[in-house]
A and B are shown apart, each in its own frame.
Chain A
Amino acid sequence: MKKTSIDLILNEHRAFESVLTALREFVDGIAAGRYTADFGLLAAMIEYVTEVPEQVHHHKEDEYLFARLRLRAPDAGPLIDELMRQHARGPKLTAALERALIHYRNAEKAGLDAFHNKVNEYVDFQWQHILKEERELLPLAQERLLADDWAIIDAAFLTNHNPWRGVEDEYAALFERIVSLAPAPIGLGGSSANQGFRTAD
């Protein structure tokens, strides 16, 4: 029983990581001249990493997993506080990403370096956050939480039947758009030849 929620959390992490990896590879590729900048795709990726963790994932961790663990393991308080601070920092970083994307779009190549830096900062931050949860918090939760705790946590996490579609499939079209636009081999999009800028639809 207790592993159901953990598997769902890992599932959601893997789905989120797939978009993080795609974002980083795409922007690295633009900077290296392998890919053409596609602002529609970049906007879709940023919308995904802004919306899905906040709407689907973090609140369940905060309200259920973290809350129950804080009760059962008072010594985990500092770790939980840090992870919650990171949850709160995420939207600030994605807002900065959005601003950097606007600047990049307006300034074109002159804005690429700043945008690239913001992407790297954001992806590094999220990777470290995910690793901290998986290496420190989840093992502790497995050790300390009781069956009653897991029943409550499972009920919350099981509302999301698919890790990247959202509870009501509200993010399915967004994810499919990212897969469809991202150039191969990242996604199913067309040629990766850099032939200048492509604007959003």
Chain B
Amino acid sequence: MLKVHDLRAGYGKSEVLRGISFEVNRGEVVTIVGVNGAGKSTTLKTLCGVVRAQSGRITFDGADISNRPANEIVERGLTMIPEGRQLFPFLTVKDNLLMGAYKKAARSTVAKRYEEVLEMFPRVRERLAQHAGSLSGGEQQMVAIARGMMASPKLLIFDEPSLGLSPLLVEMMFEIIEKITAQGITVLIVEQNVFHTLKLADRGYVLENGEISLSGTGQELLDSDHVRRAYLGM
């Protein structure tokens, strides 16, 4: 579904991604793990057309989407739930959700999708009339995920979904992601919370200093001495 080949990207003269290659197949849960500064968020921003690729190729469902505008990439079915939620704080939760279905392909089914998403997130239904900015961090994260689901994505990308959440909410968040993956939605997760993410993932990549240093199934990476030493403190 998504193929990234020898991707190089960065900011100005600073090269952050140094020729990374990875792929996400339909129905899979794939994770990219790494510490701060490894290039995880840059990878996602480049996939979504926010950061320009300096070289390399990104294909999605067979089409080259390298350096295509973000709105075109979203129309093709790639949706990102950004780090820090990025809700519209002065819009209601309902309006934030409806913004998730703004792309052309989602507009015709918005009413049906809205009900389906609220079925999945009963807590969000209770908050529909509130301004998104008045919600707690955990609730905002749920709204951000619900908004992403409104687009009926083919590939849902999570950027650090557990960032800034309490341990209790991290447990809950991964439970929600597990429910989403159980629906067969293809998921790419970028996370620092290596343990939870690798438990969930079919496959994973370890990103270090802008390069893929290791790849394998979630369990293979959990079993890797390098991952256990560097990321799990074992």
Chain A residues in contact with chain B, CB under 8 A?
3, 7, 10-11, 14-15, 17-19, 21-22, 25, 134, 139, 163-164, 175-176, 178-180, 182, 184-188
Complex interface: chain B residues within 8 A of A10 (CB): 195
Q: Which of A7, A14, A188 contacts B222 (CB 8 A)?
A: A7
Complex interface: chain B residues within 8 A of A185 (CB): 136-138, 165-166, 169
- Chain A CB count within 10 A is highest, among B170, B171, B222, for B171
Question: Given A184-B137, A185-B136, A185-B138, A22 and B166 touching (CB < 8 A)?
Answer: yes
Q: How far is the CB of B19 from chain A (nearest CB, A)?
A: 31
User: Does the CB pair A179–B168 fall under 8 Å?
Assistant: yes
- Chain B CB count within 10 A is highest, among A3, A19, A163, A179, for A179
Q: How large is the interface on B (under 10, 10 to 19, 20 to 34, 35 or more residues)?
A: 20 to 34
Interface string of B114-150 (1 = CB under 8 A from A): 0000000001000000000000111100100000000
User: Does the CB pair A22–B199 fall under 8 Å?
Assistant: no
Q: Label chain B's interface by main secondary structure.
A: helix
Q: State in angstroms the CA–CA spacing of A85 and B166 once bound together.
A: 31
Q: State in angstroms the CA–CA spacing of A89 and B167 once bound together.
A: 25
Q: State in angstroms the CA–CA spacing of A161 and B87 once bound together.
A: 34
Complex interface: chain B residues within 8 A of A176 (CB): 172
Complex interface: chain A residues within 8 A of B139 (CB): 184, 188
Q: State in angstroms the CA–CA spacing of A182 and B168 once bound together.
A: 9
Q: Which of B165, B166, B222, B234 contacts A25 (CB 8 A)?
A: B166
- Chain B CB count within 10 A is highest, among A3, A164, A180, A184, for A184
Complex interface: chain A residues within 8 A of B166 (CB): 18, 21-22, 25, 185-187
User: Does the CB pair A22–B138 fall under 8 Å?
Assistant: no
Q: Label chain A's interface by main secondary structure.
A: helix
Interface string of B66-87 (1 = CB under 8 A from A): 0000000000000000000000
Chain B residues in contact with chain A, CB under 8 A?
123, 136-139, 142, 165-172, 195-196, 199, 222-223, 234
Q: Which of B137, B168, B234 contacts A178 (CB 8 A)?
A: B168
Chain A residue nearest to B178 (CB atoms) is A162
Q: State in angstroms the CA–CA spacing of A192 and B165 once bound together.
A: 16
User: Does the CB pair A18–B167 fall under 8 Å?
Assistant: yes
User: Does the CB pair B123–A188 fall under 8 Å?
Assistant: yes
User: Does the CB pair B199–A19 fall under 8 Å?
Assistant: no
Complex interface: chain B residues within 8 A of A184 (CB): 136-139
Complex interface: chain A residues within 8 A of B168 (CB): 18-19, 21-22, 178-179, 182, 186-187
Chain B residue nearest to A17 (CB atoms) is B167
Chain A residue nearest to B137 (CB atoms) is A185
Question: Given A7-B199, A187-B138, A164 and B171 touching (CB < 8 A)?
Answer: yes
User: Does the CB pair A188–B136 fall under 8 Å?
Assistant: yes
Complex interface: chain B residues within 8 A of A164 (CB): 171
Chain B residue nearest to A138 (CB atoms) is B234
Complex interface: chain B residues within 8 A of A19 (CB): 168
Q: State in angstroms the CA–CA spacing of A68 and B145 once bound together.
A: 44
Q: Which of B138, B165, B199, B234 contacts A11 (CB 8 A)?
A: B199
